[in-house]
Amino acid sequence: MIQDDISEFVQHGDKHFLHHLSIDCVIFGYHERQLKVLLLKWKNADKWSLPGGFIKLDEPLEEAASRILTERTGLSQLFLQQFHTFGEPKRSERTEEDIAHLESVWRKKVPENHWLLKRTVSVGYYAVTEYSQVNPQPDYLSEECTWHDVDNIPKLVFDHNLIISEALKALRIQINLQPIGYNLLSKKFTLPEIHDLYETIIGKALDRRNFSKKLLSLGIIKKLDEQKSIGAHRSPYLYKFDKRKYDKALKEGIVLAF
Amino acid sequence: MIQDDISEFVQHGDKHFLHHLSIDCVIFGYHERQLKVLLLKWKNADKWSLPGGFIKLDEPLEEAASRILTERTGLSQLFLQQFHTFGEPKRSERTEEDIAHLESVWRKKVPENHWLLKRTVSVGYYAVTEYSQVNPQPDYLSEECTWHDVDNIPKLVFDHNLIISEALKALRIQINLQPIGYNLLSKKFTLPEIHDLYETIIGKALDRRNFSKKLLSLGIIKKLDEQKSIGAHRSPYLYKFDKRKYDKALKEGIVLAF
């Protein structure tokens, strides 16, 4: 069954997908001051890659990105954001080892000029999720689908390390222009919790007072008449997002200037 | 000669270019509070489009963008910035009128399944230039190559109106994150001149005092011991860019928060 899927993909994919074009997804996972990236381990090989794939002949790019992510990792409902298209001519060149691996999975010889050996331009998408709340699963082409610290990413196939670093740059710019945090924090959270989230994503220290002043003055978060008990003499106030203002800021953009 | 070029392109382009993939360039032109966009008028038709084209089999995307811009408009040396890839399946569908036009230019019948009729995903690039200092020229496929006010753009072919509005959005975000103005203003300029530039691009009024305070405190512009005489009792100070700090800000990014 799985072998049928592989054969169908390798042998007949050229009839179902646009040639020369692919999508790669950088899925960032946040949990308690940790920022991770979701990677797939190729079947029977010590090779890691981003979840990626091809675009059906009549499929809009955004739909293709969601479908590919779901097929390859089981994740769905993420807000995928296009950030850059990667078009170096040799970016997707397969090494002899890569081709040998493809042949071992396919169990056939890959002919020259095979569609999977053609130059491929890849459109990059990213999303951010709370990684303790999702359970990614590998597909028939992979044997693992796991989270890796952004500071400790193995050498990946093709130009996937570059794609991750560009995605991280884009995310760090975006966090200045749109709010983030809804679905990444509990419904009620403390100021240190949301401050940790922003510091972890931006990757640098942010002044605590200025940080909360900005979010409060924009009305994106609001203080609740409720405290969290986290130990003797420590009961910080809880906050929640003002969903209406948050969505407005998402749509219209803000400038946080961190 | 020109007819040879057209025939070569329409008939044999499929051997020289990646299928399914194109590039479109949005060239913004600034001059004295005017923001314009460069458009091409198709030969023998009342149809306008962005300067765009196809990517050679072994050509990096950025090189393709520069080459296409130069071939189609004569402009070179512009800093083209990739901003979005457009992938709606029907975005590049040619109407019967478009096909009739292609046939009239080619002087042959376009067969079904011709490479120019295939679905095309387009990578968008933009640049900003001083339009009074460049002299764009149409290529063999166009009869005009002219500047149009961003507020008064005709209905364009394909999804080119959308591409322009997305480019303008991207430029307006970018102006908050990177300095702009070098090559768009005279070497020495007054504060009202650079303020006009920013207001025109952003498309809204900016407080004069805050604006100059920000640029000065970032060190991007510096005041000269020199005044411009623009009439009786009016002699504003001149400023110039601090090229070192400007380039540093270009590279590392800033947050201007306009």
Q: Which residue has the tokens 């995310």?
A: A171
Place of tokens 């070098």: B182
Residue B137 — very low, low, confident or very high, per pLDDT cuts 50/70/90?
very high
Whether the per-residue pLDDT at A197 is higher than 80: the answer is yes
Question: pLDDT band at residue A258, thresholds of 50, 70 and 90?
Answer: low
What ipTM goes with this model? 0.93
Place of tokens 């002043």: A213
DSSP-derived pairing of the beta strands A17-31 and A52-56: antiparallel
Residue that has been written with the tokens 């959270």 in this structure: A189
Query: Could you tell me the two tokens for B206?
Result: 């900016």
The overall average pLDDT reported for chain A is 93
Q: What is the pLDDT of residues A165-192, one digit of tens each?
A: 999 999 998 898 889 999 999 999 999 9
Length of chain A: 258
Residues 113-152 of B with CB under 8 A from A: 119, 121, 123
Q: What is the pLDDT of residue A1?
A: 58
The answer to whether the CB atoms of A82 and B85 lie below 8 A apart is yes
Percent of chain A with pLDDT over 70: 99
B217 inside 8 A of chain A by CB: no
What pLDDT is attached to residue B195? Answer: 96
Coil, strand or helix at A249: helix
* Contacts by residues A173-177 (CB-CB < 8 Å, ≥ 24 positions apart): A173/B177, A173/B253, A174/A81, A175/A201, A175/A202, A175/A256, A175/A258, A176/A255, A176/A256, A176/A257, A176/A258, A176/B177, A176/B255, A177/A253, A177/A254, A177/A255, A177/A256, A177/B173, A177/B176
Give CA–CA dist B58/B15, Å, rounded. Answer: 12
> What single DSSP character describes residue A159?
T
pLDDT tens sequence across A5-33: 888 999 999 999 999 999 999 999 999 99
pLDDT of residue B257: 67
Please compute the mean of the pLDDT values over residues A207-225 and round it to a whole number: 93
Maximum Cα interatomic distance, chain A, rounded to a whole number of Å: 70
Q: Are the beta carbons of A18 and B258 separated by less than 8 Å?
A: no
Distance CA A142, CA A163 (A): 20
φ/ψ (deg, to 5) at A192: -60, -30
DSSP assignment string, A182-207? TTTS-SSEEHHHHHHHHHHHHTS---
A21 vs B contacts (CB less than 8 Å)? 20-21, 121
Rg of the Cα atoms in chain A: 21
**Which pLDDT tens digit goes with each residue over B201-213?**
999 999 999 999 9
Q: How far is A65 from chain B (nearest CA, A)?
A: 11
Q: Do B58 and A18 touch (CB under 8 A)?
A: no
A89: contact with B, CB 8 A cutoff: yes
Predicted pLDDT at A205:
93
| Radius of gyration of chain B, Cα coordinates, nearest whole angstrom | 21
| Test the A interface: residue of B20, B66, B168, B177 with most A CBs within 10 Å | B20
| Structure tokens that stand for A202 in this block | 């931006």
C-alpha–C-alpha distance, residues A235 and A247, integer Å: 29
Q: Which of A54, A61, A177, A254 has the most B C-beta neighbours within 10 Å, making it the best mutation to test the interface with B? A: A61
Burial B63-102 (b: 16+ CB within 10 A, else e): ebbbbbbeebbebeebebbbbbbbbbbebbebeeebeebb
- Paired sense of beta strands A17-31 and B34-42, if any: unpaired
